[in-house]
Structure 1
Amino acid sequence: MSIPFQKYHGTGNDFLIIHADEHVPDRGALAERECDRTVGVGADGILFLAPEEKFNPPRVVMTLFQPDGATAPMCGNGARCAAEWTMDRTGADSVMIDTQAGTLRADRDGENVVIEMTPLTFVPDEVPVMADEPVLKAEIEGLEVSVVNTGVPHAVSFVDNVDNVDLEAIAPPVRHADAFPDGTNVTVASPDGSGGFRQRTYERGVEGETDSCGTGAVAVAVVARRLGLTDADPVDVHPPGGHLRVSFNDRGRPTLAGPVEHEFDGEVAVEPPVEP
């Protein structure tokens, strides 16, 4: 049996979107198979979306399964893709997204989808990270990092040039460090010469570098402000896949803005093929 999906991406961070009403016996196994870029469709995750269009603005419940088959409570670009999918269905320019990390509002702004992110925290128990006080500059597994939760944990390291970083070598030891009970994403950033930052992120659950990471972009912006590396608002962040903009609204919460594209539609089998 096959079920339909739509594929969306936000600055290269790509997702298969499946209506939550579709019967999938094992969502984690489906994500492991179809996110694989060799044997599956290829994606950074699968979003199962349950629209609740009776509300104004419309609401959608988002559940993200990552390529390792586990769920993640929050994904900035995933939430923006979920918002675009809901806007495409309803014609609305604003939607509410219920995630495991809280309820978020997203709005269309020209070519961009802007989402209000979850409240951020440097509090060690809430990241979580094994520390007695906020980790603003500490060496973990040989990398100097600042640690923040922007919906998911991030260890952020500022370097001279992100292109010179062997992310696949330096990130896994930090991602799996004993200091992080739940693991962490690992993000490196460097000044772009125009007041913003370039970004690369090794994502927990993907277990590799992605073209873009929305929670990572927010982490770069908030840590840069906390360390006094910028006082800009908005903060422009450039992952490999494009341009994101992080602002801070009148409630003190970060917002993430960037383009979203609907790539194509297709079908996937809900069960793996039978071996001959």
Structure 2
Amino acid sequence: MQLPFYKYQGTGNDFIMVDNREESFPVGDMEYISFLCDRRIGIGADGLILLENDSETDFKMVYFNSDGNQSSMCGNGGRCLVAFARYLGIIQNTTTFNAIDGMHAATITDDNRVKLQMRDVTDVKEKPDYTFLDTGSPHHVQLVDNLKMLDVAKEGAKLRYGMYGQQGSNINFVEPNGANIFKVRTYERGVEDETLSCGTGVTAVALAMHHTKRTDSNRVRLHAEGGELEVEFEVATNGYKNVFLIGPTKMVFKGEIVCKN
């Protein structure tokens, strides 16, 4: 059986998109999903996302890391899925959809720039050398000097496994780059390497920088390796609310997957 797929990227974070409203994709085959995401013998992607029917909202997002495991929320993946849903004619310029961490709202412009509402954050743990918070996925945020020269894969893996064990955490290294602007590089669990961008990661960075008083703005610009994103938010009595991740999306190509029987 051959199944159409679409390749999307959001600031360099790339995803295989599949319209699974007819439930024809082999969801339980982790080995196959990992194969599809492999950049040498498969299509190549940071993750695979299924668009499925949902009784409460416009659609449902089911996200798999490139290792084949179903994962927690992916911000850039959610933004790309909104663009995919409009391409399929499911939505126009506004939408709500369900993901593993609950319901999300989003808007999309004519040039495929997506503003995605993230979950509220009620718990920010500030430690002497880092900040930890969950923005749909767990994130360690750590300021460093000379971010450009940092071996993110090596240092990220040390923290991902050494500090957080097998369950792990995403690791974000941050360097200020002007007023309300921060450079970010992220090691993603599940990918087990540095990615060009991480949506939940830059969201975590923006909130962590505000929480630790390194910015007083409620709109922060983040320079990832793959491009620029923005995060805006409101301060709540306990944490942050009305958190939005904003940035571009793009369809790269489309094709057909040869599915296993």
TM-score normalised by L of structure 2:
0.90
In the alignment, residue 48 of structure 1 is paired with which amino acid? L
Once the 2 structures are TM-superposed, how far is the Cα of residue 122 of structure 1 from its aligned partner? 2.7
| Aligned with residue 245 of structure 1, among 230, 241, 244 | 230
Distance in structure 2 (CA, Å) of the matches to 1:9 and 1:153:
22
Distance in structure 1 (CA, Å) of the matches to 2:109 and 2:25:
34
Once the 2 structures are TM-superposed, how far is the Cα of residue 97 of structure 1 from its aligned partner? 1.7
| Aligned with residue 137 of structure 1, among 111, 114, 127 | 127
SS across alignment from 2:227:
coil
Task: Name the structure 2 match of 1:5.
Answer: 5
Task: Name the structure 2 match of 1:130.
Answer: none
* Runs (5+) with no aligned partner, structure 2: none
Contact preservation (8 Å) 2:180, 2:219: no
SS across alignment from 1:170:
helix
In the alignment, residue 87 of structure 2 is paired with which amino acid? D
1:268 and 2:257 correspond? yes
Contact preservation (8 Å) 2:101, 2:136: yes
Count, aligned residues: 253
Flag the 1:205–1:163 CA change in 2: closer, same or farther, 3 A. Answer: same
* Runs (5+) with no aligned partner, structure 1: 124-133, 139-143
TM-score normalised by L of structure 1:
0.85
Equivalent runs, 1:252-263 vs 2, <5 Å: 252-263=241-252
Contact preservation (8 Å) 1:25, 1:270: no
SS across alignment from 1:243:
strand
Contact preservation (8 Å) 2:218, 2:234: no
In the alignment, residue 67 of structure 1 is paired with which amino acid? S
More strand, by proportion: 2
Two-structure CA RMSD over aligned residues (Å): 2.0
Once the 2 structures are TM-superposed, how far is the Cα of residue 65 of structure 1 from its aligned partner? 0.8
Task: Name the structure 1 match of 2:213.
Answer: 228
SS across alignment from 1:183:
coil
Flag the 1:179–1:67 CA change in 2: closer, same or farther, 3 A. Answer: closer
In the alignment, residue 231 of structure 1 is paired with which amino acid? D
In the alignment, residue 42 of structure 2 is paired with which amino acid? G
Task: Name the structure 2 match of 1:36.
Answer: 38
SS across alignment from 2:63:
strand
Flag the 1:165–1:250 CA change in 2: closer, same or farther, 3 A. Answer: closer
SS across alignment from 2:9:
strand
Task: Name the structure 1 match of 2:24.
Answer: 22
Task: Name the structure 2 match of 1:66.
Answer: 65
Flag the 1:61–1:46 CA change in 2: closer, same or farther, 3 A. Answer: same
In the alignment, residue 80 of structure 1 is paired with which amino acid? R
Once the 2 structures are TM-superposed, how far is the Cα of residue 8 of structure 1 from its aligned partner? 0.7
Once the 2 structures are TM-superposed, how far is the Cα of residue 254 of structure 1 from its aligned partner? 1.1
